[in-house]
Amino acid sequence: MSNIKVTSLIKTFGGANVIDDVSFTVAPGEILVILGASGCGKTTTLRCISGLEQPTSGSIVIDGKTMFDANVNIPPEHRHLGMMFQSYALWPHKTVYGNIAYGLGKLSDDEKRRKVRDALALVGLSGTEDRYPSTLSGGQQQRIALARSAAARPKVILLDEPLSNLDAKLREQMRNELRKLIKELNMTAVYITHDQSEAMALADKIIFMKNGKIEQEAAPRTIYARPATRAVAEFIGSATFLNGTMTENAAEGATIDLGNGFKLSSSLPLSASKGAAQVAIRPERVKLSRAPTGSPNEVRGQVANLIYLGEHTEYAIDVGPTRIVSRSQLELEPGANVFVRVAPEDVIPMPAN
């Protein structure tokens, strides 16, 4: 069962497919985050779901009802969606009550009052009906904006970078709160952002988009530990990419020879069958020691340079002609000899080009 089903979605602007055959589903109560660089098509996808943008082709089904296909195009106001967009700021000249009640449409005054009261209780701001947005903190305003989106109790809420106007600290606090509230309200959510840590913290599932296509769809942990492509590995966290020659490749794992006396084994198979191969390793997974530990994938290197970052130091280690980045708490000087190791399960195969 899914609450949102997008199938073969295409949107063309001026002859170019900015959404290029995108399909995904969102389960009831799930938070889907669409992540990707500016211009990858996130907003356009969300606008198609909301009905603000008309797709070129494809279909969109929400809660079992077809909202768009070749024969149907339900207008936004009849899709019963909650929307929280960056550009939908609160009206400064309306009270909290006025802001929330405005979106409720044609209801009796009593019903409106009840719904506003319920929505404010949900976000923990009961009793603020008569206040103006400017008398509330940034975080409280954000909660009012969510109350406004949720007041009609939509099953599905769409959020487009709703936290981007907040400062870093408040942003972090609000994203946790937002996730909690969406879960408490039992809403299905599609959230778009280009901030990877926001995506990680909020999502049950992440879709990574590039050039209007989905590069990977997976749980946050999987996206981080098993990025499917170089673009995903680069966007989420940082990584060193190593090229070598594959010497072994089986379902239980693979070995690539980096050509500097360092053979790296991976506990995952490589997608190529023979020849050149590429793997990625995360700096925080590259371990350093002054003496060898006897672990697999261990090699001697030399500290080329370092950046002290407080909780750890980022080292560039030269292993022959290969430079590997490591984040370590070890204190080493430039030029120091060091042993570098990376567990086979942390050697991530990249697709063959």
Ligand X SMILES: Nc1ncnc2c1ncn2[C@@H]1O[C@H](COP(=O)(O)OP(=O)(O)OP(=O)(O)O)[C@@H](O)[C@H]1O
Residues that bind ligand X (CB under 6 A): 13-14, 18, 36, 38-44, 194
Q: How far apart are CA 4 and CA 172, in angstroms?
A: 27
Tell the smallest beta-carbon distance from residue 40 to ligand X (Å).
Answer: 4
Tell the smallest beta-carbon distance from residue 215 to ligand X (Å).
Answer: 13
Q: How far apart are CA 4 and CA 205, in angstroms?
A: 13
Amino acid at residue number 60: I
Q: CB–CB of 217/205 below 8 Å?
A: yes
Tell the smallest beta-carbon distance from residue 142 to ligand X (Å).
Answer: 19
42 or 285, CB closer to ligand X? 42
The tokens of 29 are what?
A: 């109560």
35 or 145, CB closer to ligand X? 35
Amino acid at residue number 1: M
Those residues with Cβ within 8 angstroms of residue 304's Cβ, 6 or more apart along the chain or in another chain: 315, 316, 317, 318, 323, 334
Largest alpha-carbon pair distance within the chain? 78
43 or 328, CB closer to ligand X? 43
10 or 330, CB closer to ligand X? 10
Amino acid at residue number 120: L
95 or 211, CB closer to ligand X? 211
Tell the smallest beta-carbon distance from residue 126 to ligand X (Å).
Answer: 35
43 or 128, CB closer to ligand X? 43
Tell the smallest beta-carbon distance from residue 39 to ligand X (Å).
Answer: 4
Of 55, 121, 49, 59, whose CA–CA distance to 80 is shortest? 49
Tell the smallest beta-carbon distance from residue 132 to ligand X (Å).
Answer: 30
Q: What are phi and psi of 117, to 5 degrees?
A: -60, -45
Q: How far apart are CA 280 and CA 40, in angstroms?
A: 23
In terms of residues, how long is the chain? 353
Tell the smallest beta-carbon distance from residue 13 to ligand X (Å).
Answer: 4
13 or 91, CB closer to ligand X? 13
156-160/81-85 β-pairing = parallel
Q: How far apart are CA 156 and CA 67, in angstroms?
A: 13
The tokens of 55 are what?
A: 């797709």
7 or 211, CB closer to ligand X? 211
Tell the smallest beta-carbon distance from residue 234 to ligand X (Å).
Answer: 17
Tell the smallest beta-carbon distance from residue 211 to ligand X (Å).
Answer: 9
Those residues with Cβ within 8 angstroms of residue 23's Cβ, 6 or more apart along the chain or in another chain: 6, 7, 8, 9, 214
18 or 231, CB closer to ligand X? 18
Distance, CA of 17 to chain centre = 22
